[in-house]
Each structure stands twice: as structure tokens, then as C-alpha cells.
């Protein structure tokens, strides 16, 4: 089993749609959780950290469920510019090392 | 502007040749990392360094070497022992003095075999 698993997609959605991604992780000792965005042939960029209480940044909402060991990302009112691959990232419990999921690809169309 | 600079952007390696990828940061971060990304896969950790003059192997260190003689610099050498070096190489850094700090990336080096 992979340490971090994501649905690879692609998710093809129209502009204005709401889309949700899930990610599961295997190490119950993990303490740090992030969502990164990666555009084609570019470096990953931090989208948001994920906190236990859940957090929101504009159209983006992240949730953490420690009991079930999954993280979610909700994007509301999708824009064409949201088209990218979204990487779920988890630390390897107790260490300052991050484990990256393979990513979920989102394509927003007019 | 503060950031992480990787060079070159593109690199070609001949069989049996060692090549070195540069990574420099001016963010005053103690920790630096090297990852490799293959198409359709997540990033995999090659080496990391939590402090100057110290570094540890990641998950796929075979065929690679690093040094950390200065806080700002963490070069990666891809040796001839790495039989499948074609990939996108990413350098990252973070402030490891606090918990839960995200890593920030340079814009990567694409390495190909000639």
C-alpha cells in the first residue's frame, strides 16, 4: 500500500463547478498535512496547509479526518486557472520528511 | 526576492558521466531536500540535509551524492551509477526549527540522457 494515495483523475469539470478531492495516508503518526498545486512541467507550489479543525482560503477548503486518515480539498466556483495537478502531502510521522501523493489532475473547461 | 534557484534548467548527460545540479537558497532555511519526479508519479526523496555539514539518504539515494558545505547551497551529483537518471529534479527547503513547516521548491532541472 502506498503511504499517500490519491485518485489520479482526471476530473473534468465546467467553470463554476464545485469539485472535491480525497487523499488517504497510511501513517497514523503523521502530523503535518498540505495541499500543493503543480502546473504542467513546473514545480509544486504550496496551496494550503491542512489543520485539524479544517481551514478555508477563499474558494478552497481543506479538511482532515485523523480517525479515518484522510484529507480532502474542496474547490468551489472552479476557474479555468484552477486546471492543474493537486498533490496531497503528508509528513512521515515525527520526521521532517514529506511524502507526496502522485496527484489528482483537474481540468476546468469553459 | 527571496527564493530557491536551481540550475541549469535543462541538462543532458552522456553515458558514464557524472553531472552536478545546483541548488541555492537565500531564505535562511536550515533544511534542504532533493527530490526526483518521474511522469505520473509523486516526488521521491533522494537526499536531505537538516543542517550544514550534515545530510541523510532519502528513499532513493543510490547513484546520487550531495554535499552541504554552506547553508545556502545543496548541490546534487548524479553519478554514472544511476542507470535511469532521466527525470525532473526538484530542490526544496524549509525552516525546520518549527513543526509543520511546508517546503518551498525551486523551479527544477530536467535531466535527460544523450
Residue B3, pLDDT > 70, answer yes
pLDDT for position A1:
76
A72 touching B, CB under 8 A?
Answer: no
Q: Is A99 within 8 Å of B42 when comparing Cβ atoms?
A: yes
DSSP chain B: ---EEEE-SEEEE-TT--EEEEEEE-S--SEEEEEEE-TTS-EEEEEEEEETTEEEE-SS-TTEEE--SBTTB--EEE-TT-S---EEEEEEEE-TTSTTPPPEE---EEEEE-
Distance CA A59, CA A82 (A): 11
In this predicted model, what pLDDT tens digit does every residue of A31-57 receive, in sequence order? 889 999 999 999 999 999 998 888 999
Find the CB nearest A96 among B40, B50, B107.
B50
pLDDT of residue A96: 72
Question: For residue A95, what pLDDT band results from cuts at 50, 70 and 90?
Answer: low
| Predicted local distance difference test score (pLDDT) of residue A94 | 59
Question: Measured between alpha carbons, how far apart are the two ends of chain B, in Å?
Answer: 35
Q: Tell me the chain A residues in contact with residue B38 when contact means C-beta distances shorter than 8 Å.
A: none
pLDDT for residue A93 = 66
The pLDDT of residue A53: 84
Q: Does B45 touch chain A (CB under 8 A)?
A: yes
Q: Which residues of A touch B35 (CB under 8 A)?
A: 100
pLDDT class of A84 with cuts at 50, 70, 90: very high
Give residue A45's pLDDT. Answer: 96
> Is B39 an interface residue toward A (CB < 8 Å)?
no
pLDDT of residue B91: 98
Could B43 and A44 be called an inter-chain contact, meaning their C-beta atoms sit closer than 8 Å? yes
Q: pLDDT digits over B31-90, tens only?
A: 999 999 998 888 999 999 999 999 999 999 999 999 999 999 999 999 988 889 999 999
The answer to whether A48 faces chain B, any CB pair under 8 Å, is no
Mutation choice for A interface testing from B3, B35, B102, B105 by most A CBs within 10 A: B102
Contacts with A42 from chain B: Cβ below 8 Å: 107-108
Amino acid at each position: 500500500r502506498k503511504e499517500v494515495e490519491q485518485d489520479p483523475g482526471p476530473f473534468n469539470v465546467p467553470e463554476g463547478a464545485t469539485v472535491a478531492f480525497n487523499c488517504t495516508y497510511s501513517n497514523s503518526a503523521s502530523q503535518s498535512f498540505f495541499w500543493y498545486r503543480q502546473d504542467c512541467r513546473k514545480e509544486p507550489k504550496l496551496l494550503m496547509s491542512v489543520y485539524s479543525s479544517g481551514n478555508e482560503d477563499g474558494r478552497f477548503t481543506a479538511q482532515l479526518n485523523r480517525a479515518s486518515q484522510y484529507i480532502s480539498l474542496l474547490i468551489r466556483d472552479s476557474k479555468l486557472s484552477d486546471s492543474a495537478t493537486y498533490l496531497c502531502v503528508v509528513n512521515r510521522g515525527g520526521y521532517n520528511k514529506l511524502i507526496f501523493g502522485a496527484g489528482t489532475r483537474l481540468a476546468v473547461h469553459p | 526576492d527571496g527564493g530557491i534557484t536551481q540550475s541549469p534548467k535543462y541538462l543532458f548527460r552522456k553515458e558514464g558521466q557524472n553531472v552536478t545540479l545546483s541548488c541555492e537558497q537565500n531564505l535562511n532555511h536550515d533544511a534542504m531536500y532533493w527530490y526526483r519526479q518521474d511522469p505520473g508519479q509523486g516526488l521521491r526523496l533522494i537526499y536531505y540535509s537538516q543542517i550544514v555539514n550534515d545530510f541523510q539518504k532519502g528513499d532513493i539515494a543510490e547513484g546520487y551524492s550531495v554535499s552541504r558545505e554552506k547553508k545556502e547551497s545543496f548541490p546534487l551529483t548524479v553519478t554514472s551509477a544511476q542507470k535511469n537518471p532521466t527525470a525532473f529534479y526538484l530542490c526544496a527547503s524549509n525552516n525546520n526549527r518549527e513543526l509543520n513547516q511546508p517546503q518551498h521548491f525551486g523551479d527544477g532541472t530536467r535531466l535527460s540522457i544523450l
